[in-house]
Amino acid sequence: MRNLLLFSIAALVSLPSVLGLGGAHEGLETAMEIQREQVNRMRTMMGTRAEAMNNQRRAPQPPPSTITFSNPKAKEFLVDGTKIPDVNFDAGPSWAGLMPISGAKNETRKLFFWFWPTNNPANTKDLVFWTNGGPGCSSLEGFLQENGPISWSWGQAEPTPNEFSWTNLANVLWVEQPVGTGFTQGNASISNDDELAEQLVGFLEQFLDVFSELKGKNFYVTGESYAGFYVPYIANWIYEHPGLALNLKGIWIADPSLSSDLVQDEIPALRFARANQNVFPFNSSFWDQLQHISDDCGYTDYLDKFVTYPPKGLLPLVGTNGTFTVAPECRIHSPIQRAVGVLNPVFDVYRVTDTFPNLWSVLGFPRSTQEFIYFNRTDVQDAIHAPHMEWQSCSDRNVYIDPATGRGGRDQSAPSMLSNIMPNVIEKSVRTVVVHGLADFILVAEGTRIAIQNMTWNGAQGFQTPIEPESFTVDGFGVFGNTHTERGLTYVEFFYSGHMTPQFVPWAAFATMEFLLGHQDSVST
């Protein structure tokens, strides 16, 4: 990272003389000067800590220890922060391994976890749980590329400390779940997210038996994408089945699945492409074709007509003949994605601003050019007490079963905002935060707006007053999106972010976590 930056500075400095531009191109020189300033600003932001770590590799300066565990069993899970393969700094102590979902002697189902204590002694009262989505995607992806203390993200040559690690804010527990995901053991046996929640709570009880110093902590359940199902269902289960030795306070979900595909993909797709025309540079006959679909299926004026503040009534289904299944002639999201993928061979539906060439990833996505998948290495598996097995960031295995046949099946749960699940969670939580990246096309932010306006919680339907533009600010950046809070629900839209918000705009995701945890009264900083 550092070498790359130095290289680009050198290139910029030498360019004008090479081209012999002299004084005739002051504008160009100014542009290069500004670019240089930006490189320096980026370096300052990414930090002092990263730089110090680089300069004194494996120096004995781990983060301060904020917790010890008295149960001798905890030692079996201890991960030595100086011995994590390829990590050239002392990341401090952490605990990882497999934990069963119940105390039954014959229990074969186990989830894999990686627990990190906070590095800030002021934040030891809080425990954040993180899960990725999928279904079947590993939370170790979130750990390594989004919000963990070690960052080995897309295009990075080597791991670095993450300045925006959520362990700055709380103790954090990354869990691969449900059974069938990542390193988990045993056969999938659930067919809905109540059963998923019950198994996860069973796991947490076993976990707290070993790590009992964490009992009584304030608890926050967080995740992204398909975790728009997982997280509200887990929180709802905990609220409805008191007894877990944690004090659940709220949830945070990013770019969540929480309504129908019609709402989250089809209705807002053309508006999204038009608003981002620079990266959806279609020819005019294709635009016309899309416009026809949109007009005929009732998408074109849907947001202007129905997404009002307050809403005028329940929001209608369009393009589906009154069902949740989109009629084939009303599919518009897939044609757009397919066409843009021809123009931009590395189009990434998770972040539409990506252009050629695309970045490699040590977890194999979006590009798999490296020699290994990090968590598939046996030395990495040994370091974190994981089983020797083929690890996939998103599993081929089934995580749900068909209750009739016992074979692989689909999640039978209703989306959280189309049921009483999310309303109940908002009503019982201190804070509920939903965030969405404005450069995400696998789930579109305007779809989340539709879902919110069609949901009734705390005595009213939807937000009563509009989401004001430019209302979300981040310290050091200024306006960074839009936000609105009403009746316990906070919604935030981030500029520049694709699907994985803590990866793409870690400063913004971090700020919203500070709000969730009650460190500040507003999401804006």
Q: Which is nearer to ligand NAG, 73 or 388 (CB)?
A: 388
Instruction: Go through 125-138 and write b for each residue having 16 or more CB atoms within 10 A of its CB, e for each that does not.
Output: ebbbbbbbbbbbbb
- Return the DSSP state at 415: P
Q: Which of 339, 422, 474, 492 binds ligand NAG (CB under 6 A)?
A: 339
Under rule CB under 6 A, residue 443 binds ligand NAG: no
**498 with 351: CB under 8 angstroms?**
yes
Under rule CB under 6 A, residue 460 binds ligand NAG: no
**For residue 88, what are its two tokens?**
């050239």
Q: How far is the CB of 56 from ligand NAG (least distance, A)?
A: 33
Q: Which of 96, 253, 263, 517 binds ligand NAG (CB under 6 A)?
A: 263
The one segment of 62-70, 100-108, 171-179, 441-449 that binds ligand NAG by CB under 6 A: 100-108
Active site (annotated) includes residue 440: yes
Under rule CB under 6 A, residue 390 binds ligand NAG: yes
Q: Which of 14, 321, 353, 464 binds ligand NAG (CB under 6 A)?
A: 321
376 phi and psi, to 5 degrees? -90, 0
Under rule CB under 6 A, residue 273 binds ligand NAG: no
Active site (annotated) includes residue 436: no
The one segment of 50-58, 89-97, 311-319, 429-437 that binds ligand NAG by CB under 6 A: 311-319
- Say how far apart CA 252 and CA 239 lie, in whole Å: 16
Which residues inside 1-40 make contact with ligand NAG, applying CB under 6 A? none
Under rule CB under 6 A, residue 293 binds ligand NAG: no
Q: Which is nearer to ligand NAG, 38 or 321 (CB)?
A: 321
Which residues inside 179-208 make contact with ligand NAG, applying CB under 6 A? 186-187
Strands of the sheet with 478-486, listed across from one edge: 78-79, 94-100, 110-116, 171-176, 126-131, 218-224, 247-254, 431-437, 489-494, 478-486, 472-474
Q: Which of 99, 140, 251, 315 binds ligand NAG (CB under 6 A)?
A: 315
358 phi and psi, to 5 degrees? -95, 160
**131 with 252: CB under 8 angstroms?**
no
Q: How far is the CB of 469 from ligand NAG (least distance, A)?
A: 24
Q: Which of 3, 70, 106, 278 binds ligand NAG (CB under 6 A)?
A: 106
Q: Which of 138, 139, 225, 259 is catalytic?
A: 225
# chain residues binding ligand NAG, by CB under 6 A: 25
DSSP 137-206: B-HHHHIIIIISSEE--TT-SS-EE-TT-GGGTSEEEEEE-STTSTT-BS---BSSHHHHHHHHHHHHHH
The one segment of 44-52, 106-114, 241-249, 462-470 that binds ligand NAG by CB under 6 A: 106-114
The one segment of 43-51, 77-85, 137-145, 256-264 that binds ligand NAG by CB under 6 A: 256-264
Residue 73, exposed/middle/buried by CB under 10 A (0-12, 13-18, 19+)? exposed
Beta bridge partners of 176: 112
Per-residue H/E/C for 298-355: CCCCHHHHHCCCCCCCCCCCCCCCCCCCCCHHHCCHHHHHHHHHHHCCCCCCCCCCCC
> Of 501, 380, 369, nearest to 438 (Cα)?
501
Q: Which of 40, 71, 283, 458 binds ligand NAG (CB under 6 A)?
A: 283
- Say how far apart CA 486 and CA 463 lie, in whole Å: 6
**411 with 200: CB under 8 angstroms?**
no
**For residue 16, what are its two tokens?**
């004008």
Q: Which of 286, 341, 345, 357 binds ligand NAG (CB under 6 A)?
A: 286
Q: How far is the CB of 341 from ligand NAG (least distance, A)?
A: 9
Under rule CB under 6 A, residue 346 binds ligand NAG: no
Under rule CB under 6 A, residue 454 binds ligand NAG: yes
Q: How many CB atoms lie within 10 A of CB 178?
A: 28
The one segment of 8-16, 230-238, 240-248, 279-287 that binds ligand NAG by CB under 6 A: 279-287
Active site (annotated) includes residue 348: no
- Say how far apart CA 286 and CA 490 lie, in whole Å: 37
Q: Which of 46, 190, 196, 373 binds ligand NAG (CB under 6 A)?
A: 373
Counting Cα atoms < 13 Å in the Cβ hemisphere of 472 gives 24
Under rule CB under 6 A, residue 303 binds ligand NAG: no
x/- site string to ligand NAG, residues 138 to 177, per CB under 6 A?
Answer: ----------------------------------------
The one segment of 127-135, 245-253, 315-323, 497-505 that binds ligand NAG by CB under 6 A: 315-323
- Return the DSSP state at 400: B
Beta bridge partners of 432: 251, 489
Residues with catalytic annotation? 225, 440, 499
Binding site for ligand NAG (CB under 6 A): 104, 106-108, 186-187, 259-260, 263, 282-283, 285-286, 314-315, 317, 321, 327, 339, 342, 373, 376, 390, 418, 454
